[in-house]
Structure 1
Amino acid sequence: MAAAVFLLICGRIRVGTLGVDRESFSSSFLLSPPSAFAAALRLLLFLEFLQIDGLCAKEKMHSTHLLLEEPIRMASILEPSKPSFFPAMTKIVGTLGPKSRTVEVISACLKAGMSVARFDFSWGNIDYHQETLENLKLAIKTTKSCVMLDTVGPELQVVNKSESAISLEADAFVVLTPDQGQEASSKLLPINFSGLSKAVKPGDTIFMGQYLFTGSETTSVWLEVAELKEDDVVCIIKNSATLAGSLFTLHISQIHINLPTLSDSDKDVISKWGVRNKIDFLSLSYTRHAEDVRHAREFLSKLGDLQQTQIFAKIENVEGLTHFDEILQEADGIILSRGNLGIDLPPEKVFLFQKAAVYKCNMAGKPAVITRVVDSMTDNLRPTRAEATDVANAVLDGTDAILLGAETLRGLYPVETISTVGKICAEAEKVFNQDLYFKKTVKYVGEPMSHLESIASSAVRAAIKVRASVIICFTSSGRAARLIAKYRPTMPVLSVVIPRLKTNQLRWSFTGAFEARQSLIVRGLFPMLADPRHPAEATSATNESVLKVALDHGKSSGVIKSHDRVVVCQKVGDASVVKIIELED
């Protein structure tokens, strides 16, 4: 045995030569009986299992299990990051609020890398958010952005009319009551749900904190249900905390709340504010079943232009997790709300769901959005090391966008937060193992591929082989560009959306604006809206003129330079064409 260990240290043998089954080894690694010698042997075997060679003096890492490009030169870590026209391929969703609603701050957020502006109707009225949106319209004259409306859904809230801070002491009792006429205090907390006493039982856990809580025990509290008294719920306080702010929310671990996913107040906001502003995305909070998405889509279909609005299902609890596959099939994208998921799931399970969910979204070609990554930047100028690593790992997992909530809504440093997250994403993208990801995606899709899938994968393969600086994709619906982005090319994809003229015999209208803006949440896609035309005008000459405009845009933005190669994906007549062009001086 000692000889075997010695040989293993020297890199002479493999796990297989010791008769260890690779499939069972990883699961049994931490389950073996402890001893100093056995622990050392298990560690060495585990390192061999990961194929890390030359333990004595080598830095080169060989791992086919990670979506990580290799080898990484250690010296390159010390090199300064190079500025780029695109801050990152991964998109950033910023929630606009008190600290980020002026024209100046919104402009700075957009320039720092925010591509989607999120409006959260869990707090604030229509007039407040309309004023913020008007400021956004002024700010986006020199940049691009789209709008996401976040619904309230079946969210339980504490009714604190005085908006004064409430101090709760550990081991004391507090009563949750549906009587909203009562004044909130350290002994009594009115809530907006009359069925709580029927939904919980003694021993259940309730989490309460400031809306978009950052996890600090001083601003959030854990309660344990002690007794049920008719409609009231008596709880024992597990930790001392001061609830400060205008909005406190409750989350009950793994308990079904019998409230509609799309509430009447949500429908009212969508019908008024959403229709008026032609929202690009609807973030459907607390999505629990595919039927929730279908119901929301049916509602939007009756609201004119909003039938083009994409629905992103927000997974926030175990119900949504359980029905994830069917929800993914119905939704246009997924938002993983890790804050509430982290309450419903054990902490050690959250990352497993994230990796599995993002992978499923990637293979389906639908955007995956991750939340709650840099909570500490709500009050601090720099993220923790763990948070910085978390952002990078989310990029390596394959996420399309990072959603910032409290960090930009009420945080002290909204612009710096967006800039920092963008820089971390850009660095992670440099080491993303595109080759491995491409092969996995092609294998998952299988054969025979659909026509569009084949064209998209071929365009990416060609761009990688010739080291193109950009892929230009002509599209009217945006689907072709999204399929190209699905294969995660290392270069940006310029999605040239061709507006189409249509009529219903009463009026003329153009399509394309929604499709262009909705590309702003997809990793690696950067949209450009071409001049409108009639479908009959889609000739070779007009395509070439649009291509010239796209190339000029790429040159002016610094993405394309002289002698660069560009891959173009377009439709000529009935044929789909992928061509490579090399630019002259």
Structure 2
Amino acid sequence: MPRLTKIVATLGPASRDPQILETLIRTGVNVVRLNFSHGKADDHVQTAAEVRRIAASVGRPIGILADLQGPKIRIGKFEEGKIHLDVGQRLILDAKCELGNQERVGLDYKDLPRDVSPGNILLLDDGRIELEVENVQGPEIFTVVRHGGVLSNNKGINRKGGGLSAPALTAKDMDDIKTAAMIGADFLAVSFPKSASDMYMARQLMLAAGGRALTIAKIERVEAVAALEEILDASDGLMVARGDLAVEVGDAAVPALQKRMIRLAREKNKLAITATQMMESMTHSPTPTRAEVSDVANAVLDGTDAVMLSGETAAGEFPVETVDAMVRICREAQRSLPVTLDRGFLDRTFTRIDQSVAMAALFAAYHLNVKAVAALTTTGSTALWMSRLNCGLPIFGLTEEPAALSRMTLFREVFPLLLPEMGNDRDLLRRKAEERLLEAGVVAKGDLIVLSYGDKMGQSGGTNTLSIVRVGEPLPAKR
């Protein structure tokens, strides 16, 4: 059984070398993440071109995820690069300070003094430093240290319980969306959305720039959790961004939220990516901790479409070993996945013909001795719908559209295959599909497969036909 859960790997200094990148792809990476918090537009254009070149040479479709930086809610820099804070010490966060010292530090987000009041708790550096606001005077926030430690340049700031007013899309993000469209990104991750309107705006900006990327909402704010359904309805998927989310809602709340988000995404036929610190120890170690193994396995069991690596592959010492370990964990975890297809149909209503055909294909495959399910698709939607229910079989997305091929790289249980010049002759189409599956080595002559397709291939939403086919049997004579 092939690996069902996809792997997203962030590219950076440790993985941009063409040989390393090719090895990562061969080892099991399905989607690469370009982090727009770092690098210039030209860097991302060159990296995307290299990814496409290597993917073509390896013969595997690889998706590209452009991850927007979002608002920079950070402190500024220090004269000495860092300071040490003791419990009870006072620190002023000063929106007008240029270079910080032991007594005060500047702010990249100049509106922070308007967003806080006495008694608020500010969490810096992913919650490692805790400050309590005592007073606010103009551009200055007077705080007392509740949890101390080393504080260095440009560390992030969260307010416990959320409520910071920074917009999700900055001017830089809007420029970066144009870059993402130019490089043909398959997925666009939007940082810190608070409402559905943030996601609608990102989608419109992407379309206006000529892009077709699926939009992924990064759930990082308390406000986003409260508006989860509305945000998901306005998006193509979500990312469980556990770093900032844990700081705002508390780390103990994250596991249950992760399960809820993944479940809701699957129910709404959306995508889910689980991210942050999945294999963090492998940044400096060739083997994961037992806790990390359990973390990745549980995400697989939760039903996530993909698990994501960040610093582990961007700047880590063992990027290839990290991907290899994640592949092994995903494969082992999926052995325990229950097939609950019949239960999955009970509470679902299908109003579209193409979606009903997709579900009928799964039902037929589940109750017959079928080797594989194949969806001939123009956009990838049929394959996505099939992948929302665990049928225990691989789903092959056959398409002549390169954009659909790339976006299916993120769909759990779906294996995209290029089928050029599909045409509209149904008998010829069936034969081409059989030959492509035989060529890929996923079926043999005599195997039973389920095919879904449309009368007019190339037309979005046109899937209306289901065929149960024995590979290699003669086509029926035309009347």
Task: Verify same fold: TM over 0.5.
Answer: yes
Kindly tell me: are residues 443 and 541 of structure 1, through their superposed partners in 2, closer, same or farther at Cα, counting changes over 3 Å? Answer: closer
1:172 aligns with 2:77: no
AA matched with 1:390: D
- Which residue of structure 2 aligns with residue 265 of structure 1? 172
Query: C-alpha deviations, 1:324-365, integer Å up to 9, x for none?
Result: 111111101111111111111133322221122111111111
Q: Tell me the secondary structure at the aligned position of residue 30 of structure 2.
A: strand
Kindly tell me: are residues 444 and 186 of structure 1, through their superposed partners in 2, closer, same or farther at Cα, counting changes over 3 Å? Answer: farther
Kindly tell me: are residues 189 and 564 of structure 1, through their superposed partners in 2, closer, same or farther at Cα, counting changes over 3 Å? Answer: farther
- Which residue of structure 1 aligns with residue 477 of structure 2? none
Q: Tell me the secondary structure at the aligned position of residue 434 of structure 1.
A: coil
Whole-Å separation in 2 of the counterparts to 1:153 and 1:126: 16
Give the superposition deviation at 1:562.
Answer: 5.1
1:67-82 aligned within 5 A = none
Whole-Å separation in 2 of the counterparts to 1:468 and 1:165: 62
- Which residue of structure 2 aligns with residue 255 of structure 1? 162
1:391 aligns with 2:296: yes
Q: Tell me the secondary structure at the aligned position of residue 445 of structure 1.
A: coil
Query: C-alpha deviations, 1:401-431, integer Å up to 9, x for none?
Result: 1121222222222222222122111111111
TM-score, length-normalised on structure 2? 0.90
Give the superposition deviation at 1:371.
Answer: 0.9
Give the superposition deviation at 1:312.
Answer: 0.7
1:340 aligns with 2:256: no
- Which residue of structure 2 aligns with residue 539 of structure 1? 425
1:202 aligns with 2:121: no
- Which residue of structure 2 aligns with residue 403 of structure 1? 308
Give the superposition deviation at 1:544.
Answer: 3.2
AA matched with 2:345: V
**Contact conserved, 1:371 with 1:403, CA < 8 A, in 2?**
yes
Whole-Å separation in 2 of the counterparts to 1:161 and 1:424: 42
TM-score, length-normalised on structure 1? 0.74
**Contact conserved, 1:468 with 1:566, CA < 8 A, in 2?**
yes
1:126-141 aligned within 5 A = 126-140=41-55, 141=57
**Contact conserved, 1:496 with 1:527, CA < 8 A, in 2?**
yes
Whole-Å separation in 2 of the counterparts to 1:105 and 1:341: 32
1:438-449 aligned within 5 A = 438-446=341-349
Q: Work out the percentage of aligned pairs sharing the same amino acid.
A: 25
- State the structure with more CA Rg: 1
1:217-366 aligned within 5 A = 220-243=128-151, 247-271=154-178, 273-304=179-210, 306=211, 308-366=212-270
Give the superposition deviation at 1:542.
Answer: 3.3
* Coordinate RMSD, CA, aligned: 2.3
What is the count of residue pairs matched by the alignment?
464
Kindly tell me: are residues 408 and 223 of structure 1, through their superposed partners in 2, closer, same or farther at Cα, counting changes over 3 Å? Answer: farther
1:566 aligns with 2:449: yes
Which consecutive residues of structure 1, in runs of 5 or more, have no partner in the other structure? 1-83, 499-511
Query: C-alpha deviations, 1:373-414, integer Å up to 9, x for none?
Result: 222222222222222112111111111111212222222222
- Which residue of structure 2 aligns with residue 57 of structure 1? none
Q: Tell me the secondary structure at the aligned position of residue 224 of structure 1.
A: strand
Q: 1:492 aligns with which of 394, 399, 406?
A: 394
Q: Tell me the secondary structure at the aligned position of residue 319 of structure 1.
A: helix
AA matched with 1:104: Q
Whole-Å separation in 1 of the counterparts to 2:219 and 2:424: 41
Whole-Å separation in 1 of the counterparts to 2:83 and 2:472: 65
- Which residue of structure 2 aligns with residue 433 of structure 1? 338
AA matched with 1:356: R
**Contact conserved, 1:96 with 1:119, CA < 8 A, in 2?**
yes
AA matched with 1:360: L
1:105 aligns with 2:16: no
Q: 1:579 aligns with which of 451, 468, 479?
A: 468
- Which residue of structure 1 aligns with residue 106 of structure 2? 190
AA matched with 1:567: V
Which consecutive residues of structure 2, in runs of 5 or more, have no partner in the other structure? 457-461, 474-479
Give the superposition deviation at 1:118.
Answer: 0.8
AA matched with 2:187: F
Q: Tell me the secondary structure at the aligned position of residue 215 of structure 2.
A: strand
Q: Tell me the secondary structure at the aligned position of residue 360 of structure 2.
A: helix
Query: C-alpha deviations, 1:520-556, integer Å up to 9, x for none?
Result: 11101111222246xxx4012430342144223321x
Whole-Å separation in 1 of the counterparts to 2:72 and 2:360: 45
